[in-house]
A and B are shown apart, each in its own frame.
Chain A
Amino acid sequence: MTDPAPPRTPRRVAFSQKLSRWDVKVSPYLFISPFFLLFALTGLFPLLYTAVVSVHEWNLLGGQGDFVGLQNYVDVLGQATFWKSLRNTFSIFLLSSVPQVVAAIVLAALLDQNLRSATFWRMGVLLPYVVAPVAVSMIFGRLFADQYGLVNSLLTGIGLDPIAWHASPLASHVAIATMVNFRWTGYNALIFLAAMQAVPRELYEAAIIDGAGRIRQFFSVTVPQIRATVIFVVITSTIGGLQIFDEPRMFDAQGLGGADRQWMTTVLYLYDVAWGNQKNFGRAAAIAWLLFLLILLIGLVNFALTRRIADDGGRGRSARRRALRRRGVVPVPDGEPRPTRPSAVASAALPPARTAGASDTDPDAGPATSDPERSAS
Chain B
Amino acid sequence: MRSSRTRSVATATALAASLALVLTACGGGSGSGSDATGDSTQAAGGDASTDAGAGSGEQIKLTVATFNDFGYTDELFDQYEADHPGVTVEQVKAAKSEDARTNMTTKLGAGGTGLADIEAIEVDWLPELMQYPDLFVDLSDPALADRWVQWKVDQATTTDGKLIGYGTDIGPEAICYRQDLFEAAGLPSTPDEVATLLGGDDATWDTYFEVGKQFVAASDSAWYDSASATYQGMVNQLTNAYEESDGTPKDLATNQPIIDLWTQVTQASADGLSAGLEQWSADWDAAFQKDGFATMLCPAWMTGPIEERAGGVTGWNVADVFPGGGGNWGGSFLTVPASGANTEAAKELAAWLTSPEVQTQAFTSAGTFPSQIEAQSSTAVQEFTNPFFNDAPVGAIFSARAQAIKGAPFKGPNYFSIHTAVQDGLKRVDVEKTDDADSSWAKSVQAFKDLGLS
A binding-site residues for B, Cβ under 8 Å: 59-63, 79-80, 118-119, 122-123, 126, 129-130, 132-133, 138, 141-142, 145-149, 164, 166-168, 187, 190-191, 193-194, 197-198, 201, 245-246, 252-254, 256, 258-260, 275, 277-279, 281
Contact A60 B420 (CB under 8 A): no
B109 touches A122 (CB 8 A): no
18 contacting pairs across A/B (C-beta < 8 A)? A60-B106, A60-B108, A61-B109, A61-B128, A62-B132, A123-B17, A126-B21, A145-B283, A147-B287, A148-B287, A187-B25, A193-B18, A252-B278, A253-B281, A254-B423, A259-B427, A260-B424, A275-B105
Does chain A have a CB within 8 A of B442? Answer: no
List the 6 closest pairs (A to B, CB-CB), nearest first.
A148-B286, A167-B432, A259-B427, A253-B280, A259-B424, A145-B282
Residues of A within 8 A of B434 (CB): 164, 167-168, 259-260
Q: How far is the CA of A372 from the CA of B98 in the complex (A)?
A: 71
List B contacts of A194 (CB < 8 A). Answer: 14-15, 17-18
Alpha-carbon separation in the docked complex, A105 to B276 (Å): 42
Whether B108 pairs with A147 at a CB distance below 8 angstroms is: no
A80–B450 touching, CB < 8 Å: yes
Contact present for A133 and B31 (CB under 8 Å): yes
On B, residues with C-beta under 8 Å from A are: 7, 10-11, 13-15, 17-18, 21, 24-25, 28, 31, 102, 105-106, 108-109, 111, 128-129, 131-132, 135, 276-284, 286-287, 290, 292, 416-417, 420, 423-425, 427-428, 431-434, 443, 450
CA distance A102 to B7 in the complex (A): 26
How far in angstroms is the closest Cβ of chain B from A274? Answer: 9
Q: Are A142 and B282 in contact (CB under 8 A)?
A: yes
Report whether A190 and B21 are in contact in the complex, using a CB–CB cutoff of 8 Å: yes
A122-B13, A141-B282 given; name 18 further pairs at CB < 8 Å: A60-B108, A61-B109, A63-B109, A119-B13, A130-B24, A132-B28, A138-B282, A167-B432, A187-B25, A190-B21, A193-B14, A194-B17, A245-B31, A252-B281, A254-B427, A258-B432, A275-B102, A281-B109
Q: Which residues of A contact B10 (CB under 8 A)?
A: 118, 197
Interface residue SS majority, chain B: helix
Question: Please, which residues of chain A bring their CB within 8 A of the CB of B425?
Answer: 259
Question: How far does the Cβ of A278 sit from chain B's closest Cβ, in whole Å?
Answer: 7
Which chain A residue lies CB-closest to B416?
A277
Are B11 and A197 closer than 8 Å at their CB atoms?
yes
A80 to B423, CA, bound (A): 19
- A contact residues around B111 at 8 Å (CB): 63
Which of B18, B277, B424, B428 touches A147 (beta carbons < 8 Å)?
B277
Q: Which residues of A contact B135 (CB under 8 A)?
A: 61
Known: A123-B17, A191-B18. A260 touches B428 (CB 8 A): yes
Q: Which residue of chain A has the shortest Cβ distance to B98 in the bound complex?
A: A255
Question: In the complex the two chains form, is B417's CB within 8 Å of A166's CB?
Answer: no
Q: Is the CB–CB distance between B31 and A246 below 8 Å? A: yes
Residues of A within 8 A of B428 (CB): 259-260
Q: How far is the CA of A146 from the CA of B430 in the complex (A)?
A: 13
For B15, list chain A residues within 8 Å (CB).
194
Scoring A145, A147, A164, A245 by chain B CB atoms within 10 A of each residue's CB, the highest score goes to A147
Bound-complex Cα distance A61 to B134 (A): 11
Residue of A at shortest CB range from B434?
Answer: A167
* Nearest CB of chain A from residue B101's CB, rounded to whole Å: 8
